[in-house]
Amino acid sequence: MAETVTTARQTPGAFGAYVKNVRDTAKSFWEGMSVTLSYMFRKPITTQYPDRVPVPVRDTIPPRYRGFLEVDMDICTACQACERACPIAVINIDILKGDGKTTPKLRMERFDIDIGKCMYCGLCVEPCPTGAIQHTREFEGAVMHFNNLTLRFVPDPLVPAVPYKPPKGADAFPRKPLGEITRQLLAAWDAPPPPFPTKEQLEGSKGAAAHGKEKPAGLDPTAMGRTLAAKALQVKEDKPQLQKVLEEAMAGTDCGDCGYPDCKGYSTALAYGKDTSTEKCAPGGADTKAMLETILVSLKTGKLPDAPAAPTDGAPAPAEAKAPAAPAGDAPAGPPLAQTLPKDELFKHVLDAMAGTDCGDCEYPDCEGYAKGIVYEGQNDLDRCAPGGEDTRAKLFQIMLGTKPPPK
C-alpha cells in the first residue's frame, strides 16, 4: 500500500515519487489479487477427515506405526514376557495354574491392556516369542468412558484362554491379520459408560484397599495382625527381621505419604522405636493401622493380645499363603531326585516343572533347552523360568538340590 513518501531530495522529484507510489499500489494489487484468485481455482489440499477419505486413515499410515496394541490369543503362549517388559504396568495378565494333566498347566483368566495408560513404547512387542502382541495402526480412541479404553483380550474370566504350544523349531506363527481383533474390541467402545458406583460399592472398595500389595479377598486384618505379631515376637531382638515383619503390614506402595522415602523407611523407624505413630500409612488405611498397633502393643507387653472370640475363616489364609508352595509329599528330606534318577527321567521331571510357554526369557530358545541345560550341561541358575514363577522355582530346587529355594 501507500508507503511513506520518500523525501523530495532523494528522488528526482516529489511528484515522481507520488506517481511511483500510486503505480506501486496498483501493481501490488494486480500481483497479489492474481495470486489469491489463482488459488481459488485450484483444488484444496485439505483432507476431509474422518468421513470423506478414499481409504481409512489407518490404512494410509506406515506399517510400523505404533498404534493400539493387539494380542492374538490363539498364538499367545502365556509367557507374560510382555507384562514383565512393560515399564508402566499397562498389561495385566492373570494366570490360572493347573496340574498339567487334567487341566492345562497355565491358563489366562485375564489379559487386559489399558490403552489409556499405554505410552506406545513397543517394549512388550520385542520379547514376544510368537508375535502374538503387536502394535496395530488403530489410533482413534474417543470413548464414552475412560474404562472403555481397557482392551480385554480374554473377554470372559470364566472361560480362561489356553496357551498356544508352538511347534518345535517354528519361526512363523499363524497370526490373524493385524488389527482385526483390536477393531472388534473398539467397536464395543461405543457402548454406554458403566453406571456410577453406589455409595455401598464405594465404601466397600475403600475397605479392600485396592492399592499396592495384593491381599487375599476376605482378609481379616485382626487375624493377620495376630499372625504378624506372633512373628514379630519371635524376632523381637533382630531389628532388621522385625522391620521386615512391620513392612508386611504396610500397603507396600512406597508412596512416601508417611514422610519417609518408602515403606522400608517407615518400618525401620518403627522397628528401632524412632517412630511410634501407627497412623502414617495412608494407602493401608485403617487395616494397616490396626495391624501395626497389634504388633507394637504385643512387642511392648511381650505376649499376643487376646484372640478374638470367634476366629474367622480368613485367619489361616495368610499363614498358608506365607508357606512356600512346595508339594507336601516331597517335604520329607531325602536325597534329591537329581541324585537318584537317570538323566533322561530327570529331564522329564525338570521339563514338567517348567511353565512350558517357550518364552525364551531364560536365554534358552525354549523350555526344552533350559531343561537340557540344567540336566546335561550343569546349568546352576534355577531362577530363570519367569512365567512359572515361584512354583517352578520351588519345584526345580526340590528336584535338583532337595532344598527350599532361598527367598528372592
Partner 1 sequence: MQGWVDSLIRGWGYDPATWPWTQIIYLLFMGLFAFIVINFAAITAGIFSWAERRVAARMQSRVGPNRVGPAGFLQWVADAVKLLTKEDLVPAESDKILFRIAPYFMMVGFACVFVALPFSHRLVVADMNIGIFFILAVTALIVVGIIMSGWSSNSKWSLFGAIRSAAQIISYEIPAGMALMIPVLLAGTLSTQGIIRAQGGWPWQWFVFNNPATFAAFFIYFISALAEGNRTPFDLPEAESELVSGYNTEYSGMRFSYFFLVEWGNMWVMSALATTMFLGGWQIPGVSAAQLDAMTGGRAVLFELLSLGIFVAKTLFWVFVVMWLRWTLPRIRVDQMMNMCWKYLVPVSFIAVLFVAGWMLVVRAAPGLATAMHWIMFVGAGVIPAAFFVNRVARNIRDTGDRFDFTSNW
Q: Interface residues with partner 1 (CB under 8 A)?
A: 1-5, 18, 21-22, 29-30, 32-46, 48
> Smallest gap, in angstroms, from Cβ of residue 17 to partner 1?
11
Q: Nearest 5°: phi and psi at 231?
A: -60, -45
Cell of 286: 485403617
CA atoms 43, 48, 54, 59: torsion sign = positive
Work out how close the CB of 53 gets to partner 1 at its nearest, in angstroms, rounded to a whole number.
Answer: 12
In the bound state with partner 1, the residue whose beta carbon lies nearer, of 43 and 168, is 43
- Residue 34 phi, psi (nearest 5): -70, -30
27 vs 303, beta carbon nearer partner 1: 27
Residues 6+ apart with CB under 8 A from 5: 14, 17, 18, 21
Is residue 148 classed as helix, strand or coil in its secondary structure? helix
Closest to partner 1 by CB, 37 vs 310, is 37
For the beta carbon of residue 353, count every other beta carbon within 10 angstroms. 26
Nearer to partner 1, 39 or 196 (CB): 39
Specify the residue, 33 or 331, whose C-beta has the smaller distance to partner 1.
Answer: 33
Smallest distance, partner 1 to C-beta of residue 10, A: 17
Helix (H) or strand (E) holding 174: none
Evaluate the CA torsion angle 327, 329, 335, 338 in order and state its sign: negative
Residues 6+ apart with CB under 8 A from 276: 270, 296
Q: How far is the CB of 138 from partner 1 (least distance, A)?
A: 25
5 or 191: CB nearest partner 1? 5
Minimum distance from CB of 61 to partner 1 (Å)? 21
Q: Determine contact, residues 79/95, Cβ cutoff 8 Å.
A: no
Q: Which is nearer to partner 1, 3 or 381 (CB)?
A: 3
CB of 214 to partner 1, least distance (A): 50
Whole-Å CA distances, 146 to 143, 184, 211, 287? 7, 18, 19, 30
Q: CB-based contacts of 198: which residues, under 8 Å, 6+ apart?
A: none
Cell of 10: 532523494
Report in angstroms how near the CB of residue 34 gets to partner 1 at its nearest.
Answer: 4
Three cell numbers, residue 41: 481455482
For partner 1, the closer of residues 44 and 63 by Cβ is 44
* Nearest CA among 244, 250, 227 for reference residue 317: 227
Indicate the residue among 36 and 276 with the shorter CB distance to partner 1: 36
H/E stretch holding 347: helix 343-353
* Three-state DSSP string of 241-275: HHHHHHHHCCCCCCCCCCCCCCHHHHHHHHHCCCC
Identity of the residue, 48 or 380, whose beta carbon is nearer to partner 1 in the bound complex: 48
Concatenated DSSP letters for 178-221? TTHHHHHHHHGGGSPPPPPPPHHHHHHHHHTT-SSS---TT--H
